[in-house]
Structure 1
Amino acid sequence: MSIRNLDKMFHPRSIAVIGASERPGSVGSALMRNLTHAGFEGPILPVNPRAAAVHGIMAYKDVASLPLTPELAVLATPPDTIAPLIAELGARGTRAAVILTAGFAEGEARVGRERAAQLLAAARPHLLRVVGPNCLGIAVPGIGLNATFAPAPLLAGNIAFLSQSGAMATTVLDWALPRRIGFSAIVSMGDMSDVDFGDLLDYFALDDSTQAIIIYAEAVTQARKFMSAARRAARVKPVIVVKSGRAEEGARAATSHTGALAGADVVYDAAFRRAGMLRVNEVEELFDAAATLATMSPQPGNRLAIVTNGGGAGVLATDRLIEEGGKLASLSDTTIGKLNAVLPSTWSHANPIDIIGDADAARYSHAVEVMLQDPDSDALLVSYCPTSVGSSADAAKGLVDVLKKSDVQKKNVFACWMGDASVQEGRATLVAAKVPDFETPERAVRAFMYLVRYRQSQDLLLETPSSATASAEADTQRAHALIAQALADGREWLDPAEVSAFFACYGVRFARTEAVADAASAARLAAEIKAPVALKIRSRDITHKSDVGGVALDLATPQDVEAAAQAMNARVAKARPQAQLEGFIVQEMVHRPGAFELIAGVSTDVTFGPVILFGHGGTAVEILGDKSLELPPLNTALARAQIERTRIARLLKGYRDRPPADIEGVVNVLMQLSRIVADHAEVTEIDINPLLCDAQGVVGVDGRIRVRKAAGSAEARLAIRPYPQNLESEIKTPDGKAYVVRPIRPEDEPALSRFAAEVDTQDLWHSAFSLLRERSHETAARLSQIDYDREMTMLAWEGGRVAGLARSTADPDFDAAEAAAIIRADLRDKGLARQLLQAQLAAIAGQGVRRAVLVYPAKLARINAIAVELGFDVAPSPDDAAVLRATKKL
């Protein structure tokens, strides 16, 4: 349901408290106390059948007695009363409710689940939105709304805090108060029966008073909705998350190496990273990261310069910087010369820049000024250690004075005034000047690295994938037939011959593996392969073949193969007389001395669906633990980044006399795994181990594929909607010219950049295309990397160039999407715009959008004619008579 009616939740004009009380220690009493003391200016309407007034405010015996319809209702009554109350409130016109009461879906009890279902059934007909049940409540300090029973008062600020745990929410609020941390909103989400993370991320991404969003999460529901909302929110403001529950229960139940490595928590890591969110481990980090990201400039690089009056503080900062993946900035001869001119001869002459313990305000000021102008550093950490010579206030004044100068190079500056009592005056100076101050060097460096990692994650989201050489067309029909045969046989695992054939359908090179009926056939196949082979018994009744003598390796000649097959048949028949023997598997033995053993595969997470795994493979794969996960669909940029996150990536690039391995071959394998899970809903697990890789290429030696009957489509189970290939088509303009029309892809960024230079700037009047004016990689990347669930951009192609594009973004409720089209200047009058818009309307109708909207200047008769021709209802905009607004039901 997304953000519909959430404005009534977070900006209500009136509030009813159902279950208001004056009984000491009760939730209803604490709630009323917080509401009446927070400064809410609208009416507060207590409902209590046995009280004439609650906390000095006239009370009402029931909902029917209320003198007006409350926009927000807060309920703290017994669980069995909740659904009837919600139905009554909804019928009266209330559109938002916060339910503090427990006893619903937080347990396994049948009664609780039934109550939760009844609650939703009562709310849905009225589009009444519910936060909770079993929650602490909500607060919007900026409007004096504190509908919680938290004990601590709340400060207004620019951070939205979303928490699944009420206990964690009260802890965080209590922790934040003495640190003067304020909030734009606090939402304790409880059981998330209705309003969930996806809804709230959508809402606060659009909230002007929120500059950063922080999340305490225990589990995510509706992964596709969550990923779509998180990706949108993280593009416009920082989203930082702490997630509890790092145990890997999922890994313990796995039946392959891939499954064992893809534990639940690392999948969350992959999801947060893919969305552009920043994950931290502790509550203190949550606020450090939020405050840093919300108030400081984008961080261009990871080179840090450190100015300190104590060598030890510099060493601590350096140690943490290297551990976190940052770099200590190098000092050029020019910069050293400038520092020599303003510092005593005993300074460190290196970074960290130790300006000696007797440093006064002037020395701090001079050193900082030099480093702010230094081109070889990206940020500056300024540290003060208490001494009996220079005061903390003087040091702070020196820093603040130089930052006030307009002629110094601006870069992010972090302060670390170490100690407590003796540095209070200096800290007060820094706070007044809005210079971020941290109590330890480690925290300051960590804050710097938040900015670095956030910038890196945003850059990755905008990295243009290469237009890789198109692989052979996948034989999806043959692949599906292999799956269907296994399921018809009642098997979950494809046999080795089927695995090899399946990968061949996707152009993944695999050791030749085939099934044969008897020993003579095995010998003939071995002669054809012309290499040593492995021989395995083929039987659906025998899982561990080596345990019954069902495996023979390195058979060099056809005669060896035939003899081994005959002996194996007799041996296995004696060991397992009840097993049905179906012949043999003959597999080429791959000898690639010195090749790296990798692992690649797919696991299915209970929350996020299929996950792609890559790492260091071989027999010790779980012990090595060198792995990286990514959510499909992949592109080449994401696949390369996934490889880069592993330790073995450094070895694959070559070292000493060893040439680089075929990394692009590994990229192709990961891309094909992504393609497989998007094509086949039945594939739940894939394991290629080892995947051998050297300079000669990539080849799979052993593999497993697990399949199960699927209830839905392959696309539906993915947490991120893949490229909608079904929308590709061809259109013809009145002059008979044909154009290929398809959704935009990230790989289109170079073509889009060229298109930006080819359109007439007078055609860029619409906000959907105004970004093209900048003609930069970043803007073209943002336009080409879209969320197909809620955005759509359709391209028309002519001669390998973009002829035109139509673009729209649905609102979070999919009620409407404003569409627009732009055509290359030399094709403007060819009739392409109408055809392209028609394709766009069909695409957004498929997304579930209910209305298409066109907004354009009334003077543009050409666009108006197209709107009328496509069946839009055209009327003047209520805000501007010079603008027309056309709408069409889809």
Structure 2
Amino acid sequence: MTIRNLDKLFQPRSVAIIGASNREQSVGKVLSRNLLGDAFNGPVLPVNPHEDAIGSTLCYKSIADLPIVPDLAVICTPAASVPAILEELAAKGTMAAVVVTAGFGEGDGHGADLVGEIKRIKTQYPIRVVGPNCVGIMVPPIGLNASFLHIQPPAGNLAFVTQSGAVASAVVDHAAHHNIGFSHVVSLGNMTDVDFGDMLDYLVADPNTKAILLYIESISSPRKFMSAARAAARNKPVIAIKSGRNQAAAKAAASHTGALTGSDAVFNAAFRRAGILRVYDLLELFDAVNTLGTGLKAANDRLAIITNGGGLGVLATESLVELGGRLAELSPETVAALDGKLPSTWSRGNPVDIIGDAPPERYEAALEEVIKDPNVDAVLVLNCPTAIADSIKAAEVVQRVVAGKPRVPILTNWVGEGAQEEAKKAFYRASVPSYDTPNQAVTGFMHMVRYKRRRDMLMQTPPSLPEGYHPETERARRVIEKAVGEGREWLTEPEAKDILDAYGIPVIETVIAKTPEEAGMAAVELGNHVVLKILSHDITHKSDVGGVRLDLTGRQQVIGAAEEMLRTVKRVKPEALIDGFAVQRMATMPHAEELIIGISTDPVFGPVILFGKGGVEVEVADDSAVALPPLDIPLARDMVQRTRVWSLLQGYRNRPPAAIEELTAALVKLSQIAMDFPEIRELDVNPLYINDYGILALDARVRVQDAANAIPVAIRPYPKHLERHVSLDNGLALTVRPIRPEDEPALLDLIQKSSLDDLRRRFFAPVKTLPHETAARLTQIDYDREMALVAESHGEILGVARLTADPHFETCEFAALVRTDQQGQGLGRRLMGDLIRHADSRGLQKMFGYVMSENRAMLALCHDLGFIETASPDDVGTRLVTLDIKQG
């Protein structure tokens, strides 16, 4: 993760065009024209050995002839020449390049060799590269158009990052036509270097960017992408289109779980987890921008509709219901107030139909009453043109109400073209969201709702698992290592259930028998009503002979069935290695629903968790949800709620509600299995029975691989290896460990029990407590780029030390707080020592922090730890302390 030298890409003081040309219809000609316009305030240096001038601008014969070292180079020469040009520029000191040249996309052969050369140059020089095979970049606020696009949009506060040059062209064209401005337009091309993660890290810190738009075809570094996206989405809207939704690669998977977790479903899960709002076409993308770009926020999903046409209100209502929103129920007070201001023929409900002859004053009266209703989260105002009412003046009324900063967002749809265009333009100038159809307007409102829900999910403080939950990790590890060591891809069903049992997921009682006679005795032991299965390393599918479920009663029946299974297997698969039989007690769970839970491996994002409707028709039912681990209880519950089976689990007719708490806990435990064992490629529990008493796994299958071939989890899990037990100077025993999301209450308690002076020194401002959003941000950290170590004793946090790495991942800033009554016992030194060691293990080079000059104890500790103290460049009352970690 790095944004090193991206400022040279997007804020260059000088630009060179390598391959500039006078030849009409050439890329070099278009690039030169776009860069040599008078918008960019800096030298533009064309390079071409065959030209004396590009237009009226002097052209240089070679890079060596350039009078200055350009910050940015734009390269459009033939592919074979690009690596040598890039290396010459990097050696000269150029820090950024845009390679628009194609010819690098081949999976093998010369194109791959050229890509390898670019990557080699990247390891030797700090130059950043956008592309190759891209249309370039634009930064309209500084007049930089280093692209060969046909038009430059106006400056604005939207950033658009895309892998597709064609989509970049379409978006820029649409935006220019609608006067939509951009802070950045970036075509990434093949992403040999700069990728989506880099751009998200850069744009989230850019004050001119208010929303980030993405067109994604693939993700090159999923963990970096997830870390950057989660950080960005906490601060500003991130909206994405993902192409390739209909890929069917998962159909070849060997398990139900693999078949249900197609790549597009996993991308959906990744976007949801990152807080990204996904849209499905360019029109919806701009509608989302129209809504979220205004900064408006809806508290919930209850929409009020004001219209001068009943049909329009019906269309909007239908769209709202289909998209999962709710029609606000107007309060009796609002209805009474509207009775006094509207004609007697008004609808007396929501939608508020103010009748087709409604003058502007009627719009104003209705709107002013509706926005005061506490049951309303947003208002959609609809207008269809009529010969007896002035649509333009009605629009002016809405703008006047909006200018008064109402409590709730107001969206508009002035239906039609021609006569309505002037009103739409006026809405745009006034930053009032306006749409072309009722459906688009409602979709815009639901974008607002979905964005808030995703952002809220990022800020939730999840409850922990039940107290005392300690999985038997080593027991499960022995099972997996045995299978991997024997070269087996599939575990036997008893082995699979052993792993589930080790992690506290209830499994049906099963006895392993070596012979048919032993199977008969096991049936008697289990109650004379059992399911019999044959165990074989060579039989892996339930459709095979050995996996057929046989419901049996009695010892002799079981023996006979076992003998017949042996004969059948040997006849069908003479080479099969028979390990014996599994004799399983019949499940007796009244009113149980059949579910499926599992783990699959996505080729991009690694392990994913699945939940859905189970049973033999699992694929046909097509009712499932996926999520990326690690999971917590709210995330697991969200998975379950996204399926249709959720409504059945709530109870119906004479069936009580199912044990949702046990189900969500099982999903969290499954998530822990996925994180603890990269060897697990697939895990399938189908069916999982659930009723009001609990859950029970009937069948389980696990597919394993060598850990060296595993794709890592996309979100770095809780780093348990950093936990350790220590004692303070006063003998107090405590645990030092990474902070967890459920630590929010304990962190707030630490704040409450610390003196105001200590809090002022830590936060550089008078602080008595922390708002939930801040506390959630401090406890729900991204372990990939942050760390917070807490000292815990009997559930209380006595101190915390944290670091945040910069996007270069070279330096990190630290901060620390020890509870006032625990100071002087060596706690701060222990926390800081562990923090420094962690920074060193992650490859960070420097640690720095700002300490108030009056905080002599902290300055003395930093001095003892090897920090160098200097004056802060920004505050005379603050000292800057810096540690060279490698020498510390």
The TM tier, using the shorter chain, reads over 0.9
Separation in 1 of the partners of 2:62 and 2:546? 78
Work out which of the residue numbers 433, 436, 441 in structure 2 matches 1:436: 433
Q: What's the offset of the Cα at 1:830?
A: 3.4
Report the counterpart of residue 187 of structure 1 in structure 2: 186
Cα deviations across residues 117-152 of structure 1 (Å, max 9, x unaligned)?
111212331210000000000010000000000011
| 1:287 aligns to 2:286 (yes or no) | yes
What is the Cα deviation at residue 776 of structure 1?
2.6
C-alpha distance in 1 between matches for 2:227 and 2:613: 31
SS in 2 for 1:565: helix
Amino acid at match of 1:622: E
CA distance in 1, matches of 2:545, 2:403: 80
2:138–2:184 Cα contact (<8 Å) kept: yes
Secondary structure at the counterpart of residue 717 of structure 1: coil
**What are the residue-to-residue correspondences of 1:390-789 with 2, within 5 Å?**
390-405=389-404, 409-470=406-467, 472-543=469-540, 548=545, 551=548, 553-711=550-708, 717-765=712-760, 773-789=768-784
Aligned equivalents of 2:93 and 2:394: distance in 1?
Answer: 60
User: Which range moved further: 584-593 or 81-90?
Assistant: 584-593
2:15 pairs with 1:15:
yes
Say yes or no: does 1:882 pair with 2:877.
yes
Q: Secondary structure at the match of 1:108?
A: coil
* Partners of 2:540 and 2:714 in 1: CA distance: 33
* Contact kept in structure 2, 1:276 and 1:461, CA below 8 Å: yes
- Partners of 1:332 and 1:55 in 2: how far apart? 69
The amino acid that maps onto 1:93 is G
Partner SS state of residue 675, structure 1: helix
Deviation of 1:575 after TM superposition, in Å, equals 4.7
Query: Counterpart of 2:274?
Result: 275
Q: Distance in 1 between matches of 2:539 and 2:839?
A: 51
Aligned to 1:200: 199
Q: Partners of 2:429 and 2:493 in 1: how far apart?
A: 69
For residues 429 and 293 of structure 1, the distance between their equivalents in structure 2, rounded to whole angstroms, comes to 18
Please show how residues 224-303 of structure 1 align to structure 2 within 5 Å.
224-303=223-302
Please give the secondary structure, in 1, of the residue aligned with 2:706: coil
Q: Is the Cα contact below 8 Å between 1:163 and 1:187 reproduced in 2?
A: yes
- For residues 792 and 577 of structure 2, the distance between their equivalents in structure 1, rounded to whole angstroms, comes to 57
Counterpart residue identity of residue 40, structure 1: F
Q: Secondary structure at the match of 1:509?
A: coil
Note if contact 1:500-1:510 (Cα within 8 Å) is conserved in structure 2: yes
Amino acid of the structure 2 residue aligned with 1:342: K
Corresponding residue for 1:4?
4
- Structure 1 residue 478: deviation in Å? 2.4
Pair 123,399 (structure 1): closer, same or farther in 2 beyond 3 Å: same
The residue type paired with residue 676 of structure 1 is I
Distance 1:638 1:801 in 2: 26
Pairwise CA RMSD: 1.9
Q: 1:500, 1:512 within 8 Å by CA — same for their partners in 2?
A: no
- Counterpart AA for 1:79: A
1:755-834 superposed matches below 5 A? 755-765=750-760, 773-834=768-829
TM superposition shift of 1:773: 4.7
Q: Is the Cα–Cα contact under 8 Å of residues 227 and 719 in structure 1 kept in the other structure?
A: yes
Query: Which residue matches 2:379?
Result: 380
Letter in 2 for 1:794: L
Q: Which moved more, 1:290-299 or 1:647-656?
A: 290-299
SS in structure 2 at match of 1:582? strand
Cα distance, 1:471–1:556 mapped onto 2, change above 3 Å: farther
Report what 2:90 is aligned to: 90
User: What are the superposed Cα offsets for residues 432-477 of structure 1, whole Å, 9 maximum, x if unpaired?
Assistant: 3222211111111111111100111111122221133146432222
1:547, 1:271 → 2: CA distance? 35
CA contact (8 A) 2:535 2:546 kept: no
- How far apart are residue 24 of structure 1 and its match? 0.3
Moved more, 763-772 or 258-267: 763-772
Moved more, 12-21 or 363-372: 363-372
Shift of 1:850: 1.6
Three-state SS of the structure 1 residue aligned to 2:803 is strand
Quote the offset at 1:573 in angstroms. Answer: 3.6
Aligned-partner Cα distance in 2 for 1:445–1:657 = 38
| Aligned 8 A contact 1:730 1:740 in 2 | yes
Q: Which residue of 1 is the match for residue 848 of structure 2?
A: 853
Amino acid aligned to 1:790: R
Of 454-463 and 770-779, deviating more is 770-779
Which residue number in structure 1 is paired with residue 349 of structure 2?
Answer: 350
Bigger drift between 503-512 and 85-94 goes to: 503-512
Distance 2:771 2:58 in 1: 61
Match of 2:427, SS state, is helix
Quick check: 251-260 or 129-138, which moved more?
251-260
The residue number in structure 1 matching 2:163 is 164
1:544, distance to aligned residue in structure 2 (A) = 5.4
Q: Is the 8 A contact 1:326 1:449 kept in 2?
A: yes
Q: Report deviation, 1:567.
A: 3.9
State the distance in 2 between where 1:544 and 1:77 align: 55
Change beyond 3 A, Cα 1:208–1:576: closer
Task: Kindly state the Cα deviation for residue 867 of structure 1 after the two structures are TM-superposed.
Answer: 0.4
Tell me by how many angstroms 1:690 deviates: 0.5
1:291 CA displacement: 3.2
Say which SS state the counterpart of residue 375 (structure 1) adopts.
coil
Whether the 8 Å CA contact 1:382–1:414 is kept in 2: the answer is yes
SS across alignment from 2:708: coil
TM-score normalised by L of structure 1: 0.97
**1:403 Cα offset (Å):** 2.9
Aligned partner of 2:30 in structure 1 is 30
Q: Shift of the alpha carbon at 1:562? A: 2.5
In 1, the alpha carbon distance for the partners of 2:91 and 2:564 equals 80
Instruction: Label 1:38 to 1:132 Cα distance change in 2 as closer, same or farther (>3 A).
Output: farther
**Secondary structure class of the residue paired with 2:578:** coil
Return the letter of the residue paired with 1:13: R
Does the residue aligned with 2:426 lie in a helix, a strand or coil? helix
Q: 1:542 to 1:656 in 2, by over 3 A?
A: closer
Contact 1:653 1:661 in 2 (8 A): yes
What do the CA deviations read for 1:364-403 (whole angstroms, capped 9, x no partner)? 1111111121111011111110000011111112212333
Give yes or no for contact 1:531–1:589 (8 Å, CA) kept in 2.
no
AA aligned to 2:394 is A
Letter in 1 for 2:736: V
Aligned to 1:177, the other structure's residue is in SS state: helix
Report whether the alignment pairs 1:835 with 2:800. no
Aligned to 1:340: 339
* Contact 2:226 2:274 (8 Å CA) reproduced: yes
Q: Which runs of 5 or more structure 2 residues have no equivalent in the other structure?
A: none
Aligned sequence identity (%): 47
Q: In the TM superposition, what whole-angstrom CA distance separates every residue of 1:595-628 from its partner, at most 9, and x where no partner exists?
A: 0000000110000000000011111111111111
Q: Give the CA deviation at 1:765.
A: 3.4
Quick one: distance in 1 between partners of 2:365 and 2:68? 65
Letter of the structure 1 residue corresponding to residue 357 of structure 2 = D
CA distance in 1, matches of 2:545, 2:390: 80
| Cα distance, 1:520–1:472 mapped onto 2, change above 3 Å | farther
The answer to whether residue 74 in structure 2 is matched with residue 74 in structure 1 is yes
**Once the two structures are superposed, what CA deviation does each residue of 1:683-726 show, in whole Å capped at 9, x if it has no partner?**
000011100000121011111100011216x7x70100000011
